[in-house]
Amino acid sequence: MEHRMNQMLLLILSLSFVLLNPTEAVCRPRNSAGKVDPGLGHTPEKSSLTPPPTNQAVTPSPSHVTPPSAPKAATPSPSAPKSSPSPKVTPPPPPTPKSLPPPKAASPPPPSPPPPTPSPPPPTYSPPPPPKATPPPTYSPPPPTYSPPPPPKATPPPPAPVSTQPPPTPISTPPPPKATPPPVAITAPPPRSNNGLGVGMMLPGAAALKLKMLCTQLTSYPDLCVSAMTPFLDGNAALDDMKFVFETAVKVVVNETNGLKDLITSYEGKATSPMMVDSFKACKNDYDDALEDIQTAMDAAPSGDYGTLTTFLSSAIDSYGDCDDEFRGLNPLAIQNARLRHLLDNCLAFAERVHWA
């Protein structure tokens, strides 16, 4: 801003100098006589300018006034005596205005800076005025009025909860198990005498050793073989003949099967349940089937039909197993049936050593 003011002042000064200097020359009177300097031959200019008359028209500015034509040169007059009147002296031509340099073009004012963006006024926070203190309420107790409380209403009892679960099913206690009768103890029948030999007769030392050697080397149940065959042999038994040994072993099985049938018949009247009676009867039929198969096998022996012999002996073993299936639960004949199956297995072992012709 200060720089701009300085430029304006310089412009005003330069314009005033240009305008005021030609005004001085124009306003000077042309017929004003000055004192002539005898040495110079012309009158010097007065040091002070005569002010123009008040009714004189104002000279326009030199930019619109045509400069006056140059005055004619004044001829110097001869020096005359002081008493002679001084000739008219033409005033010197007004000094031509000095050519002033053209005023400098005023430089355009600098662009004004953009107006500053007004910053948002800071938020003025005026705290809320403190609440007016309300005077404490004056409490005036109401006059005590006593009214007896109403009698309490009888609340109905809560409804009984409805159980969504089904009623428990009554546990039926099973009837006490019936006392099962003790199984009928059936003992193996004593072996029958063979060839007039007494029961339980002991073999002489040589025959006993021979029988034990055969039972041990050929059969799967050697102890049963010795104990079952000893009552049916004597000291003169031909134990070197394998056909005789085979036939003796088969006689032991038939003898014990018939004795077991007789024992079951005596125990049928002592059975405590009809089921037991039926099981005994079924076993007697199985024993009859086994005896028939053994007889068929022995009939095929003289002709040397070894295939028929072994087939029916194996069928007799199955019949003893069928008797075990007749009982439900405890089988009182299980031990006797196992003994008979093992004896028949020894018979098959001896039959393999016989040379059938």
Which domains, ranges and CATH numbers included, belong to the chain? Answer: 241-351 (1.20.140.40)
Which of 260, 229, 254, 223 lies closest to 334, judged by CA?
260
For residues 308 and 297, the answer to whether their CB atoms sit within 8 Å is yes
At residue 329, the pLDDT reads 77
Q: Which residue has the higher pLDDT, 239 or 117?
A: 239
CA dihedral of 325, 328, 333, 336, whole degrees rounded to 10: 40
At residue 212, the pLDDT reads 93
Q: d(Cα 344, Cα 323) in Å, to the nearest integer? A: 16
Q: Which helix H or strand E contains 156, and what residues bound it?
A: none
Contacts of 68 by beta carbon, 8 Å cutoff, 6+ apart: 93, 94
At residue 9, the pLDDT reads 87
At residue 304, the pLDDT reads 84
Is pLDDT above 90 for 155? no
What does the mean pLDDT of the chain come to?
A: 69
Residue with tokens 């025959």: 207
Give the CA angle between residues 311, 316, 320 to the nearest 5°.
Answer: 150
Average pLDDT over residues 242-263: 93
At residue 303, the pLDDT reads 86
The fraction of the chain above a pLDDT of 70, given in percent, is 48
Q: d(Cα 255, Cα 190) in Å, to the nearest integer? A: 9
At residue 120, the pLDDT reads 54
For residues 271 and 280, the answer to whether their CB atoms sit within 8 Å is yes
Banded model confidence at residue 181, pLDDT cuts 50, 70, 90: very low
Written as six digits, the tokens of 148 are 């007896």
Which of 340, 353, 342 lies closest to 220, judged by CA?
342
Q: Which residue has the higher pLDDT, 224 or 92?
A: 224
For residues 248 and 192, the answer to whether their CB atoms sit within 8 Å is no
Which of 104, 89, 97 lies closest to 33, judged by CA?
89
Q: d(Cα 332, Cα 327) in Å, to the nearest integer? A: 8
Which of 66, 64, 54, 63 lies closest to 27, judged by CA?
54
Q: d(Cα 144, Cα 132) in Å, to the nearest integer? A: 34
If DSSP states are collapsed to H, E and C, what string results for 43-79? CCCCCCCCCCCCCCCCCCCCCCCCCCCCCCCCCCCCC
Is pLDDT above 80 for 82? no
Q: d(Cα 271, Cα 278) in Å, to the nearest integer? A: 10
At residue 328, the pLDDT reads 82
Instruction: Among 97-101, 240-244, 301-305, name the one with the lowest average pLDDT.
Output: 97-101
Give the CA angle between residues 258, 317, 203 to the nearest 5°.
Answer: 60
Q: d(Cα 297, Cα 317) in Å, to the nearest integer? A: 12
At residue 313, the pLDDT reads 94
For residues 28 and 50, the answer to whether their CB atoms sit within 8 Å is yes
192-201 pLDDT tens trace: 444 333 344 5
28-71 pLDDT tens trace: 555 544 444 444 444 444 444 444 444 444 444 434 434 444 44
